[in-house]
Amino acid sequence: MQASDTDAPQWPMIIGGKKVEAQSGKRFDIINPATGLAYCSVPEGDAADIDIAVDAAKKGFDIWSKMSALQRASILMKAADILQERLADFVDAEVLQTGRPIREMRAQLARTPEWYSYFASVARTYESKVHPFGGDHVNYGRRLALGVVGLVTPWNHPLLILTKKLAPALAAGNAVVVKPSEVAPITPLMLADVFSEAGLPEGVYNVVTGFGAGAGAALTAHRDIAKIDLTGGTETGRKVAALAGERLIPFSGELGGKASVIVFDDVSVDRAAAATLFASFVAAGQTCVQGARLLVHESIHDAVLEKLIARANALVVGAPDDESTQMGPVVSDRQLATVEKYVAIGKDEGARLVAGGERLSGEGRDGGYFYAPTIFADVSNDMRIAQEEIFGPVVCVMKFSTEAEAVALANGTDFGLAASVWSSNIARAKRVAEDIEAGIVWINDHHRIDPSSPWGGFKDSGIGKENGIVCYEGYTRMQSIVLNTSEEPFDWFAEDGKQKRYS
């Protein structure tokens, strides 16, 4: 079925506060992952639309960046309230476009308004520094908005990931052009009404729907973009960062991951299994911080594995809008093919498939991209399934005997986004956490987030941070003002015998 040929909803995109079609008139379908059927369509924007959107954003920036922090903060606070009132609509749209269970999306989206209120508060309370320049000089730093920033976002948490970039960008006074994922662009489009009702000036929030190679590449190469912030795969990150490098503009990238869940022998089997289940299978494993690798102490390995298998096999995998569903489909046929490919690779590499490893159909799952929660045991760290990002409901189990071995295994990947350490020995847990080369390490927890808590990877997992003051600052440039308060005449070339300094 072609949604664009039916009376299914045809979403416009948002440029300069207006709901518009692509210049080319082209549209493409959005697929419901639970059925494999198209249910709506969006415009297929390309370079021509990006040019118009950037021009609109420049006009929006002129107004928005001149408003006081108080004015900007009060509009963001209003947006937070309006979003809060409409959460149920956003939850339904996320469930439809991502296939993630309604209980998951309710829990996740309930927190999104906090980002707008948090960054509104940051804008209101941010204090510039006076630097210890010395003498008669007063030196202070001004944080200025960058201009028009390009936000390129993925499909796994469409609203949350956009919000993590958008709230600080707007709070700091920037205008944005968003290129949401071609797989799940609906909630970024819905957000436009929230901002318009909150009083955001036209042109500050623009959304151009389209593909990575079209609208995405045009946005990231545009000469008037002042920063690019991307969440996506590592290869996309490299391409986009290279473009930013050519133009000497800041780039922030939250890219792939292969997080380890490290379980020591003082953790109960039940707790270890519950921790891994959540870390590995929430969002059907499609999160950048997925616990894709379970590293478990050899003394409890067999018991934890047995429990994990039983619990994984008992997960209710089904229609995402059903309240009882615990895991939905993966997002697309492409993602499903990737999972199937890696499961075949794991078997070929000699890992032991102990749960799942197959597509699921029947009971309302026909046509959807459902895959069983999958566990590989006897995995060694050099296997591709242990090293490469699968981004699906697959976990690789490995055992360790010493603390040093656990750290070496956890650090033995090219990625460095996240990890979790589980132990009731807090001194050990802290020691291990601090030895892990990852941007985020949880102790006795996994996948916790807060708008104030810096989030971003080391190594091939990216560069830059989301959340917190550090992220707000990343959406600004600093101007250093050096004020000489002295009336004393200064004449460097006067041959008057006085001791002089110029630095």
Where do contacts with ligand TXE occur on this chain (CB under 6 A)? 152-156, 179, 181-182, 211-213, 216-217, 220, 231-233, 236, 239-240, 254-256, 288, 338, 389, 391
**From the CB of 41, what's the least distance to ligand TXE, in Å?**
16
Nearer to ligand TXE, 47 or 443 (CB): 47
- The catalytic position among 104, 182, 389, 466 is 466
Nearer to ligand TXE, 183 or 406 (CB): 183
Residues 6+ apart with CB under 8 A from 262: 295, 296, 406, 410, 419, 420, 421, 422, 432
CA distances (Å), 40 to each of 1, 214, 473, in order? 10, 20, 38
- Report the C-alpha gap between 107 and 82 in whole angstroms: 18
Nearer to ligand TXE, 153 or 260 (CB): 153
- The catalytic position among 165, 179, 227, 465 is 165
- Report the C-alpha gap between 282 and 446 in whole angstroms: 11
Nearer to ligand TXE, 141 or 233 (CB): 233
**From the CB of 425, what's the least distance to ligand TXE, in Å?**
32
- Residue 288 designated active-site: yes
**From the CB of 180, what's the least distance to ligand TXE, in Å?**
6
- Report the C-alpha gap between 210 and 204 in whole angstroms: 19
Nearer to ligand TXE, 101 or 257 (CB): 257
Tell how strand 205-207 and strand 175-179 pair up: parallel
- Residue 323 designated active-site: no
Provide the terminal-to-terminal Cα distance of the chain, rounded to the nearest Å: 71
What is the 3-class SS of 143-179, one letter each residue? EEECCEEEEECCCCCHHHHHHHHHHHHHHCCCEEEEE
How remote is the C-alpha of 59 from its chain's centroid? 28
- As to burial, measured by CB atoms within 10 angstroms (0-12 exposed, 13-18 middle, 19+ buried), residue 10 is middle
- Residue whose CB is nearest to ligand TXE in the complex, by number: 212
Residues that are catalytic: 165, 254, 288, 466
